[in-house]
Amino acid sequence: MSKSKEAVASQAVFSYLLKQNRPYSAQDLFQNMGKDLGKTAVVKALESLTAEGKIKEKVYGKQKVYVIDQTQFPDVDESEIKSMDDKISQLNGKFQLRSEEVRKLESELRAFNGMLSTESARAELSKLYSELEQLKVKLNKFKEGRVLISKEEKDRVYQNREKYVKEWRKRKRVTSDILNAILEGYPKTKKQLYDDIGIETDEDYNVKVPDV
């Protein structure tokens, strides 16, 4: 690398460290400066600047970091530091207030977003009015004793009733036949048989099989 290029690299690295005023490794500088100089140029610039006393080299194990020599900066007035600290404290207070206001506004915004728009509310209200009118009509039919099921529904109910009654009669007859067969060789009475095997009859509960 020519002397002019080395000088340009050294000036670029020095300017960056002066502006940032924080420690960096050679790799950090190579990455942060856009890789324009090349890793070798950055390392040479750091070595040159360290030798000139413009920057300080700190070794942590196998890692080397570089920072601008603080004598490059003018002495800071203590009163100025205190003034800056006070200003930072004030700004932090304002930031907290603004953050709280933002949180409240975001909460209100979420609440508003969850609400129905005026147009949607009107559509929902219209739907409810329609349902209400339908319920009123149905209620009036109940009050007047009108039949509220269709003929098809009524026929289906009667058909199901007929089917279930026939099944009831069939099972009652089968059960009776089985028990009568058992009674032929049973030494006790019919009632005793029913008690022994835990059978409860329709007659025990005054239940009569309806006519089909």
Nearest Cα residue to 46 out of 16, 3, 4? 16
Alpha-carbon distance values, 179 to 176, 196, 206 (Å):
5, 12, 20
The DSSP bridge partners found for residue 65 are 58
Alpha-carbon distance values, 21 to 41, 76, 149, 183 (Å):
20, 15, 88, 110
Helix, strand, or coil here: 60? strand
- Confirm if 198 and 154 have CB atoms less than 8 A apart: no
At a CB cut-off of 8 Å and minimum separation 6, what does 154 contact? Answer: 147
Helix, strand, or coil here: 116? coil
Q: State percent of the chain over pLDDT 70.
A: 95
The residue-averaged pLDDT of 157-170 equals 89
The DSSP bridge partners found for residue 56 are 67
Amino acid (1-letter code) at residue 105: L
Q: Helices in the chain by DSSP H: which ranges?
A: 3-20, 26-32, 39-52, 78-113, 118-144, 151-183, 190-197
Does 43 score more than 60 pLDDT? yes
Amino acid (1-letter code) at residue 130: S
Amino acid (1-letter code) at residue 86: D
Query: pLDDT digit string (tens) for 180-207?
Result: 888 888 888 888 888 888 888 888 878 8
Q: d(Cα 202, Cα 96) in Å, to the nearest integer? A: 81
Amino acid (1-letter code) at residue 83: S
> For all residues of the chain together, what is the average pLDDT?
84
pTM for this structure? Answer: 0.37
